[in-house]
């Protein structure tokens, strides 16, 4: 991680720095696009299929269940706009979700679809609370794997089991968990999942993945349809609307080729490092951070019990303006965020003790 040469970078829940493999893949594309034009396009296209395969491996899914998208929002909208809603249906989510997981559902009001926002209170998210908000017209529950402010990590398996027992589908906004915590969609059978690559996946912005269980392929009406949506997509003179028999049918137009090449490189690196090892290290470093923050009187606002802790730690320095503290930390070479009036750190597995020491010194200053 080249960023570590200068910064103590503790802000992966916002926008992560690129890993070295992603930089190399993007630099190679830039050079080829500049010097060779589209003569290397076939190879780029083949490389993006490796990105799809790597994403499938990360989830233990089939490549045909993966669409390469430009953002988490795009993935959510594929479901929100393509789902066969009926007037009177409802979707259940949380009131403390990131806006990307609220607005697409709220935008279905014109169809007569209600968005039920369950109060998260202090940030705890229980399966029981979500299920209690459902009724016979609930078609979908959509929640974040990890809360962007609270850091609460949801028991996805328990939610899926409870929802499916009631005939309700589950959408998982995985952007704050994927790249740190492993998930096996064969065991934890979420119906839909989306995540951009620019946070814990250490890839560029504008390149992400969307997953849907193969059994739901024909459930969603393709939106944003384009030349890439159909079989025999490169035959531009044969006009036919025969959708691809895979999730790639949702990829409509031209892909963010350079972004997906960068994401593919970072996915390959993360797979080599193994998700379980990454998760263990991230939890270890955040536990250490919480202990150090407590010694200087900082109040930890995130939940740190074994089952629900994550790579996100929100805290408060009493008597200090959080935004001013963030700016001070930046002057000391420490990168963190300010969200909801709280300071937030989100270190990845490469962060070390020295980085935490710099954080504490910056806060004490």
**pLDDT in the model for residue 237:** 87
Last residue of a domain, one of 237, 272, 307: 272
pLDDT digit string (tens) for 85-119? 999 999 999 999 999 999 999 999 999 999 999 99
Residues 6+ apart with CB under 8 A from 131: 162, 163, 166
Determine phi and psi for 266, rounding to 5 degrees: -70, -35
Report the alpha-carbon distance of residue 343 to residue 316 in Å, rounded: 6
pLDDT digit string (tens) for 43-94? 999 999 999 999 999 999 999 999 999 999 999 999 999 999 999 999 999 9
**pLDDT in the model for residue 235:** 86
**pLDDT in the model for residue 365:** 86
334: enclosing H helix or E strand: strand 334-335
The closest alpha carbon to 72, from 156, 169, 148, 174, belongs to 174
How big is the CA angle at 149 (ends 267 and 7), to the nearest 5 degrees? 55
* 44 and 155 share one domain: yes
> How many domains are there within the chain?
2
* 40 and 107 share one domain: yes
* 229 and 163 share one domain: yes
* 233 and 340 share one domain: no
Report the alpha-carbon distance of residue 110 to residue 125 in Å, rounded: 29
pLDDT digit string (tens) for 157-208? 999 999 999 999 999 999 999 999 999 999 999 999 999 999 999 999 999 9
What is the DSSP secondary-structure string of 66-133? EEEES-HHHHHHHHHHHS---TT-EEEEETTS-GGGTHHHHTTGGGT-EEEEE--TTT---HHHHHHT
Q: Which CATH number fits the domain that encloses residue 310? A: 3.90.1150.10
Last residue of a domain, one of 212, 245, 272: 272
**pLDDT in the model for residue 339:** 92
Range of the domain at 13: 2-18+274-364
* 189 and 149 share one domain: yes
The closest alpha carbon to 177, from 189, 191, 159, 193, belongs to 193
Helix (H, G, I), strand (E, B) or coil at 50: helix
**pLDDT in the model for residue 319:** 86
* 324 and 261 share one domain: no
Report the alpha-carbon distance of residue 219 to residue 265 in Å, rounded: 32
* 26 and 118 share one domain: yes
**pLDDT in the model for residue 357:** 97
Supply the pTM of this predicted model.
Answer: 0.94
22-51: average pLDDT? 96
Sign of the CA dihedral running 292, 295, 301, 304? positive
* 265 and 171 share one domain: yes
* 159 and 36 share one domain: yes
Q: Which CATH number fits the domain that encloses residue 131? A: 3.40.640.10
* 299 and 239 share one domain: no
What is the DSSP secondary-structure string of 218-236? TTSPP-S--GGGBTTTT-T
* 259 and 316 share one domain: no
* 42 and 152 share one domain: yes
Last residue of a domain, one of 249, 272, 295: 272
């Amino acid at each position: 991680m080249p960023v570590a040469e200068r910064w103590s970078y503790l802000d992966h829940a916002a926008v992560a720095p690129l890993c070295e493999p992603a930089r190399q893949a993007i630099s190679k594309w830039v050079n080829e696009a500049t010097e060779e034009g589209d003569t290397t396009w076939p190879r780029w296209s083949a490389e993006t299929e490796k990105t799809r395969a790597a994403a499938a491996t990360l989830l233990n899914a089939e490549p045909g269940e993966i669409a390469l998208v430009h953002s988490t929002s795009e993935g959510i909208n594929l479901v929100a706009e393509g789902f066969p809603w009926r007037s009177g249906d409802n979707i259940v989510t949380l009131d403390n979700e990131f806006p990307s997981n609220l607005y697409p559902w709220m935008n279905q009001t014109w169809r007569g679809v209600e968005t039920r926002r369950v109060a998260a209170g202090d940030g705890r998210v229980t399966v029981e609370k979500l299920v209690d908000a459902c009724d016979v017209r609930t078609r979908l529950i959509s929640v974040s794997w990890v809360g962007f402010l609270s850091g609460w990590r949801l028991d996805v398996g328990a939610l899926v089991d409870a929802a499916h027992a009631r005939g309700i589908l589950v959408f998982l906004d995985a952007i704050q968990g994927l790249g740190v915590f492993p998930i096996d969609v064969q065991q934890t059978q979420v119906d839909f999942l989306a995540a951009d690559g620019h946070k814990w996946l250490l890839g560029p912005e504008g390149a992400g993945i969307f997953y849907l269980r193969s059994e739901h392929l024909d459930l969603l009406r393709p939106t944003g349809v384009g030349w890439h949506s159909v079989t025999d997509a490169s035959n531009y003179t044969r006009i036919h609307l025969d959708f691809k028999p895979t999730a790639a049918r949702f990829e409509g137009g031209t892909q963010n080729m350079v972004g997906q090449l960068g994401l593919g490189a970072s996915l390959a690196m993360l797979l080599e490092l193994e998700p379980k090892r990454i998760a263990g290290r991230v939890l270890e470093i955040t536990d250490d951070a919480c202990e150090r923050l407590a010694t200087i009187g900082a109040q930890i606002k995130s939940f740190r019990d074994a089952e629900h802790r994550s790579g996100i730690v929100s805290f408060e320095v009493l008597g200090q303006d959080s935004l001013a503290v963030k700016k001070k930390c930046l002057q000391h070479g420490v990168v963190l965020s300010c969200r909801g009036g709280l300071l937030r750190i989100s270190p990845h597995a490469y962060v070390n003790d020295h980085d935490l020491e710099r954080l504490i010194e910056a806060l004490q200053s």
